[in-house]
């Protein structure tokens, strides 16, 4: 298998790949969120919830206060699609940088009460408006996180995701074990061949969309990866610019 061979190359090089985990679309405490927190606690892998600034926040903030290894990032201003067709996105193409700054800051204010909030913005649908990055820099965000394929990244650091547990065309469903592990092998190979060993590999999950197979595979993958000497899980805070490595 490609993944086994790739891991052997990392082992031979004496390197560890860094993984990090982002889960999108939390906006309140639901059975699916409880299940996600249970899976996270069992595996002990650090998790960043990309939270929609919304009405359920006080309850969510209270629930997460007791969770070890769970941090928060701001997922959008309100997670409403204003692009009207094609790639979804919060900001219409005609939105100005000033308007975007106002929307970002208003969203951040709604999230401010939650403990563990990092100064990282996660754009809904991984869509980057042409003025988003400049607006984020002006509004004081330290970094943003989209999909590795999302354009942009010249003004502000990015910590992206690229291993999506789901596939989306024709309705959200499990990507499948073989495809997912092939994506991991590919991400590892790209870093190794580019000498880019330190660049983290982001796992993306969407707890509200997981079926039983997806949940089972997620738990197995977290356990498997924790036991691999070539892989280590990192917290998003460790991956931000200026953060010192734990070891």
DSSP assigned state of 124: G
Which residues face 17 on adjacent strands?
A: 231
Q: How far apart are CA 214 and CA 238, in angstroms?
A: 27
Least distance to Zn ion from the beta carbon of 56, Å?
A: 15
Q: How far apart are CA 229 and CA 86, in angstroms?
A: 42
By beta-carbon proximity to Zn ion, the closer residue of 123 and 200 is 123
By beta-carbon proximity to Zn ion, the closer residue of 25 and 230 is 25
Could you count the other beta carbons within 10 Å of the beta carbon of residue 92?
Answer: 12
Least distance to Zn ion from the beta carbon of 52, Å?
A: 7
Q: How far apart are CA 77 and CA 124, in angstroms?
A: 9
Q: Give the angle 110-87-93 at the CA atoms, nearest 5°.
A: 70
By beta-carbon proximity to Zn ion, the closer residue of 124 and 202 is 124
Which residues face 204 on adjacent strands?
A: 22, 164
DSSP assigned state of 209: G
Least distance to Zn ion from the beta carbon of 229, Å?
A: 34
**Positive/negative CA dihedral, 72, 73, 74, 75:** negative
Least distance to Zn ion from the beta carbon of 123, Å?
A: 9
Residue with tokens 């996180």: 145
Least distance to Zn ion from the beta carbon of 107, Å?
A: 13
By beta-carbon proximity to Zn ion, the closer residue of 169 and 245 is 169
By beta-carbon proximity to Zn ion, the closer residue of 27 and 199 is 27
Of 16, 226, 20, which Cα lies nearest the Cα of 120? 20
List residues near Zn ion by CB under 5 A: 24-25, 124
Least distance to Zn ion from the beta carbon of 89, Å?
A: 11
By beta-carbon proximity to Zn ion, the closer residue of 53 and 124 is 124
């Amino acid at each position: 298998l490609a993944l086994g061979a790739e891991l052997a190359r990392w082992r031979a090089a004496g390197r560890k790949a860094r993984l990090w985990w982002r889960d999108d679309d939390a906006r309140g405490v639901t059975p699916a969120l409880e299940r996600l927190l249970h899976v996270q606690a069992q595996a002990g892998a650090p998790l960043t919830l990309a939270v929609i600034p919304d009405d359920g926040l006080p309850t969510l903030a209270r629930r997460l206060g007791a969770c070890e290894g769970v941090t928060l990032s701001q997922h959008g201003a309100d997670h409403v699609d204003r692009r009207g067709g094609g790639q979804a996105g919060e900001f219409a193409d005609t939105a100005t940088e000033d308007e975007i700054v106002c929307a970002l800051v208003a969203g951040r204010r709604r999230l401010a009460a939650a403990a563990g909030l990092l100064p990282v913005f996660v754009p809904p649908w991984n869509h980057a408006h042409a003025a988003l990055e400049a607006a984020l820099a002006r509004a004081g965000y330290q970094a943003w996180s989209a999909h590795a394929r999302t354009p942009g990244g010249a003004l502000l650091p990015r910590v992206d995701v690229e291993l999506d547990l789901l596939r989306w065309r024709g309705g959200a469903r499990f990507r499948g074990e073989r495809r997912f592990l092939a994506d991991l092998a590919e991400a590892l190979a790209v870093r190794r061949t580019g000498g880019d060993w330190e660049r983290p590999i982001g796992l993306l999950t969407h707890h509200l969309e997981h079926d039983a197979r997806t949940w089972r595979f997620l738990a197995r993958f977290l356990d498997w990866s924790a036991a691999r000497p070539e892989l280590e899980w990192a917290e998003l805070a460790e991956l931000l610019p200026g953060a010192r490595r734990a070891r």
